[in-house]
């Protein structure tokens, strides 16, 4: 499968490129800067220069699936949360629709539906992620919305807990990446939104029982 990863130079995005390649897919990594291209190549991916804040059609064209794993990060302000986490995601979803690609996976976040209980910039982040998720759900795409708890850089265990709502928890980025890739090929994960933390169930089994 030809899979585009937006945010490929990021921590989860890099793992996605590496794992997609290991599993026999053809990963394309969206990067914003020329000098980031070699990172993607070293991971086994094909770099594509594009910015979520402008036209991404050339990056999306010809793909079988698209993954949003980008994020403005906590060091930028609300304007970037709006421009990347919401508008950038919607821009990518619209390009996916325009090119007739069916499969889109969104790396969202736990507690997006409870934004009212949060405060300040984090509240805004959850609200804006929620708006991007809502747009995705309104499309005809075979979407999967993955909402992990706190991301860590620990080694993956391939064991998770999923559900509409799960308790507060953490999960290694490696297991988030594995869950996203498994979701590409598990029809039971299509048209689903679920929270995700580390747990006791193998990823494939967890997705079959969503």
Ligand X SMILES: NC(=O)c1ccc[n+]([C@@H]2O[C@H](COP(=O)([O-])OP(=O)(O)OC[C@H]3O[C@@H](n4cnc5c(N)ncnc54)[C@H](OP(=O)(O)O)[C@@H]3O)[C@@H](O)[C@H]2O)c1
> Does residue 64 bind ligand X (CB under 6 A)?
no
State the burial class of residue 106 (Cβ atoms within 10 Å of its Cβ: 0-12, 13-18, 19+): buried
Which residues, at least 6 apart from 195, have a Cβ–Cβ distance to it below 8 Å?
Answer: 110, 147, 148, 149, 162, 163, 164, 165, 166
Stretch that binds ligand X, among 2-10, 159-167, 183-191, 195-203 (CB under 6 A): 2-10
Residues 45, 47, 88, 156: which binds ligand X (CB under 6 A)?
88
Stretch that binds ligand X, among 3-11, 94-102, 159-167, 199-207 (CB under 6 A): 3-11
Residues 148, 156, 172, 199: which binds ligand X (CB under 6 A)?
148
Q: What is the residue-wise DSSP string for 74-125?
A: TTS-HHHIIIIIIHHHHHHHHHHHHTT--EEEEE--TTGGGGGGS-HHHHHH
> Does residue 53 bind ligand X (CB under 6 A)?
yes
Number of shown-chain residues binding ligand X (CB under 6 A): 25
> Does residue 32 bind ligand X (CB under 6 A)?
yes
What is the phi-psi region of residue 96: left when phi exceeds 0, alpha when psi lies from -120 to 50, beta otherwise? Answer: alpha
Stretch that binds ligand X, among 64-72, 113-121, 182-190, 196-204 (CB under 6 A): 64-72
> Does residue 151 bind ligand X (CB under 6 A)?
yes
* Least distance (Å) between residue 151 CB and ligand X: 4
d(CA 162, CA 147): 9
Helices 87-98 and 120-137: crossing angle in degrees, nearest 10, is 10
* Least distance (Å) between residue 90 CB and ligand X: 13
Q: Which is nearer to ligand X, 66 or 70 (CB)?
A: 70
Give contact residues for ligand X (rule: CB under 6 A).
6-7, 9-13, 30, 32, 51-53, 69-73, 84, 88, 107, 109, 148, 150-151, 173
């Amino acid at each position: 499968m030809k899979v585009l990863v937006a945010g490929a130079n990021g921590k989860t995005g890099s793992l996605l490129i590496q794992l997609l390649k290991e599993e026999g897919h053809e990963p394309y990594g969206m990067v914003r800067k020329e000098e980031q291209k070699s990172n993607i190549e070293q991971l086994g991916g094909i770099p594509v220069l594009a910015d979520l804040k402008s036209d991404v059609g050339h990056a999306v064209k010809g793909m079988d699936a698209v993954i949003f794993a980008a994020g403005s990060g906590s060091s930028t302000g609300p304007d970037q949360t709006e421009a990347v986490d919401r508008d950038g995601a919607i821009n990518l979803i619209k390009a996916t629709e325009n090119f007739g690609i069916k499969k889109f996976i969104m790396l969202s976040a736990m507690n997006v539906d409870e934004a009212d209980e949060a405060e300040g910039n984090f509240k805004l982040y959850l609200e804006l992620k929620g708006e991007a998720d809502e747009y995705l759900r309104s499309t005809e795409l075979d979407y999967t919305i993955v909402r992990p708890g706190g991301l860590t850089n620990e080694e993956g265990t391939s064991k998770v807990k999923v559900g509409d709502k799960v308790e507060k928890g953490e999960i290694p980025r490696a297991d988030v990446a594995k869950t996203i890739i498994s979701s590409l090929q598990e029809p039971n994960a299509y048209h689903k939104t679920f929270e995700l933390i580390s747990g006791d169930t193998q990823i494939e089994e967890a997705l079959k029982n969503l």
